[in-house]
Structure 1
Amino acid sequence: MENIYIQGRVEQSNEQIKIFWPGTILTFKINGGPLKVQLSDDLGESRYSIIVDGKEIEDIQPTENKEWYVLYAPKDKKDHTVELHRKNDFSKGTSTLYAVVCDGDLDEIKPNKKHIEYYGNSISVGYANEDTTGNDDSYFTNNYWAYTSQTSRALNTEQTIIARSGIGLMVSWFDLIMPELYDRLNPNDKKSKWDFSKKIPDLVVINLMQNDKWLMQNPDNENFLKRIGRRQLEGEEIIEKYSQFLQGIRLKYPNTPIICTLGCMDISSKSSVFPEYVKSAIHYMRDDQIYYLEYPFLAKLAHPSVEMHTKMSQYLVEFIRKHQLI
């Protein structure tokens, strides 16, 4: 399939593209139309925003059957940019793109010169950010309005988002932690490894350990017992584990600046000890290209809203520009 500009890790062949990760974007530049794609999803729960000329117009949820979807049917013969943006994470399914048909021209797109890679949990995904009821319903997850994607748009950069809701650095709400996930191409296959030399980012942003913090308060959780046992995690161990993850990223990207962030949930509250743990891990690295940024404690009752994500993005964009990291 030609003239598709892809952002994010996908499994690609001449005949199909498999989409897993939140914030994966497929972009098409068309003149005329309609633009149609043939899709299926193994669980039928993956959701996508359709973005036309920078405006979110609707969304689609591919079924388990191979079906055609009209992304955009323009009423003119002008150039239009159409994006298919994955809203939720890979736990909701793997989508497969089989074909693209456009009755007009499908033109080549020049990629952005800069690229940010994000590693995170539900906050980086944008979990429930459009849920206005306060129920934290995963259906209302929209990565297009997560701080990650908002930051990429504000800085006009390409993005890769390696994130899953509920994941931790040392323990998760399921049997998988970020050090076991971060180097995968297909997140559901431990043998599927990403070639880090294929795409060197200009900046890495990490936002992890919110789930570690919560699970430390739930020591009877089966995943905590399996990973940690009947004991509490000590500060030195947490610092060491975070440092080890940083070392792994640094080995993949020797010259890329890294921003270690925390927040905007209670991991950045006044009573949290985790900011000092992360600062200590950074200090241990002795690397002047590793930075620390703490978002304010905004999400006090549920996951952050779109408005909170916008504030997070503003903090991050300001920090990146201040330190001239992009």
Structure 2
Amino acid sequence: MQLSAQDCNSWLRWSGRTFYDKTHDAVFFNWTCSGFSLRFSGTRLEMNAVAFSETYPGEADSLPWFALFLDGKHEPERIFCLQAGQQTVTLFESASKETHTLKLVKRSEGSKGRAGLRSLSLDGELLELPAEQCRRRIEFVGDSITCGFGNEMPPEAAQFSAEQENGLLSYGGVAAVLLDAEYQMICVSGIPLCWARDENYRMTLPGVPDFHPPVRTMEGYYAFADRFHEEREGKTDDFSRWDFSRFVPDVVVINLGTNDAFRIRVSGNDPAEVAHFQARYVAFLEQVRALNGDQAWLVCTLGSMDYFLYDNIEKAAAEYRVKTGDERVVCYKFGAIDPWGEGMGGLGHPNAKTQLRMGKELATLLETLI
């Protein structure tokens, strides 16, 4: 028995933002910690998928990595990656008929490897999942720290590995588990909140003079289902908007500003750029509020790598409160990385130990709000 991704949609419970790509006839679930759950009875279950690797100067090719969970267990049955192109992966196999609930979660971020479900093949049948319990819902919006970039890499590693990026062990994944919350992540390594005042400004990386990092901003990405994927597929405008009714959060946690601070530094530390960031932060809070309704808490965080713009984030939140009368917004500064007590992750990023501590910090705060 074979079911296309759309045919089996009624049997799957998706988590995270997804995007159906007609060209590939696949449902892409590229965002960190996105995936699906299903219930199955039979001897074999296979997934036909399509995957794309991503490259970046100084990094090896990045492929999408997944964790497969069985029957609600906290530890995955296995971890695997998809190779570039179309392929079939066995998700479950048994000599005799068994009934299980499977959950497939993408550990790595979309900008480090994309993947789409094309079809499921099975010797057996899909069963209806139990009704969902009413749980708290959290959305995490951020950059590499939110993605879990390098959190399983040793500090001496000189090259990023998507295999060692584990969103499940990021502070967001940790906090969600502690709060027994549903969650989704909208995060891209290297992404700032906004771009420079001069939209034609481009950064040049040391040692790679001919490469200019693409201009991507969270204020330009947030409203869409998966703008990164559509851009990589050649689209330049009219991106597919996300249906915000599909996931209505109780809280939106924003951790942006680290990459804005980097851009401000390397472009000359112009105070006008700091003021520009603060103004765009206010506008982003307005965007997030408009798209998510008036009930969600907006939690403006920063850390644990850089705090240059934290005072401006606090000022932006205060300005937003005065401008809109919206009191459901708070700020929080994560504790910094402790390189002696916690160690470091890859390329200066927090490791899993730091992310665990950050997740506990955040869960304590969110418990008071939701």
TM-score range, shorter chain: 0.7 to 0.9
Contact 1:266 1:299 survives alignment (8 Å): no
Task: Summarize deviations over 1:154-201 as a string: whole Å, max 9, x none.
Answer: 222222211100000123953111111111112233422112233322
Alignment partner of 1:137 out of 160, 164, 170:
160
Are 2:367 and 1:321 equivalent residues in the alignment?
A: yes
Structure 2 CA distance for partners of 1:132 and 1:256, relative to 1, 3 Å: same
Alignment partner of 2:217 out of 167, 170, 177:
177
Per the alignment, residue 86 of structure 1 pairs with: 106
Deviation at 1:112, TM superposition (A): 4.9
Are 2:177 and 1:153 equivalent residues in the alignment?
A: yes
Question: Share of identical aligned residues, percent?
Answer: 23
Equivalent position SS for 2:11: coil
Alignment partner of 2:138 out of 113, 116, 125:
116
Per the alignment, residue 314 of structure 2 pairs with: 279
Contact 2:26 2:50 survives alignment (8 Å): no
Structure 2 CA distance for partners of 1:233 and 1:90, relative to 1, 3 Å: farther
Contact 2:260 2:277 survives alignment (8 Å): no
Structure 2 CA distance for partners of 1:76 and 1:55, relative to 1, 3 Å: farther
Greater alpha carbon shift after TM alignment, 105-114 vs 154-163: 105-114
Structure 2 CA distance for partners of 1:33 and 1:318, relative to 1, 3 Å: farther
Structure 2 CA distance for partners of 1:209 and 1:39, relative to 1, 3 Å: same
Q: Distance in 2 between matches of 1:299 and 1:28?
A: 40
In the alignment, residue 303 of structure 2 is paired with which amino acid? G
Are 2:319 and 1:296 equivalent residues in the alignment?
A: no
Task: Summarize deviations over 1:246-290 as a string: whole Å, max 9, x none.
Answer: 0111111222111111111122xxxx3x22111111111222211
Structure 2 CA distance for partners of 1:17 and 1:133, relative to 1, 3 Å: same
Deviation at 1:75, TM superposition (A): 7.1
Per the alignment, residue 49 of structure 1 pairs with: 67
Q: Distance in 2 between matches of 1:206 and 1:78?
A: 42
Q: Distance in 1 between matches of 2:189 and 2:92?
A: 30
Deviation at 1:215, TM superposition (A): 2.0
Equivalent position SS for 1:183: coil
TM-score of the two chains, using structure 1 as the length reference: 0.86
Are 2:49 and 1:39 equivalent residues in the alignment?
A: yes
Contact 1:120 1:164 survives alignment (8 Å): yes
Equivalent position SS for 2:37: strand
Equivalences for residues 1-326 of structure 1 within 5 A: 1=8, 2-12=10-20, 16-43=26-53, 45-52=63-70, 53-73=73-93, 79-109=99-129, 110-113=131-134, 114-135=136-157, 137-139=160-162, 140-171=164-195, 173-188=213-228, 189=230, 190=237, 191-219=239-267, 231-253=270-292, 254-267=294-307, 272=308, 274-286=309-321, 287-298=326-337, 302-323=348-369, 325=370
Give the CA RMSD over aligned residues. 2.4
Q: Distance in 1 between matches of 2:256 and 2:123?
A: 44
Q: How many residues align?
A: 310
Structure 2 CA distance for partners of 1:307 and 1:73, relative to 1, 3 Å: farther
Q: Distance in 2 between matches of 1:265 and 1:147?
A: 13
Equivalent position SS for 1:83: strand
In the alignment, residue 50 of structure 1 is paired with which amino acid? L
Deviation at 1:57, TM superposition (A): 2.9
Greater alpha carbon shift after TM alignment, 101-110 vs 175-184: 101-110
Structure 2 CA distance for partners of 1:283 and 1:66, relative to 1, 3 Å: same
Contact 1:112 1:157 survives alignment (8 Å): no
| Structure 1 unpaired stretches of 5+ | 221-229
Deviation at 1:108, TM superposition (A): 2.4
TM-score of the two chains, using structure 2 as the length reference: 0.76
Q: Distance in 2 between matches of 1:9 and 1:48?
A: 16
Deviation at 1:78, TM superposition (A): 5.8
Contact 1:265 1:299 survives alignment (8 Å): no
Equivalent position SS for 2:266: coil
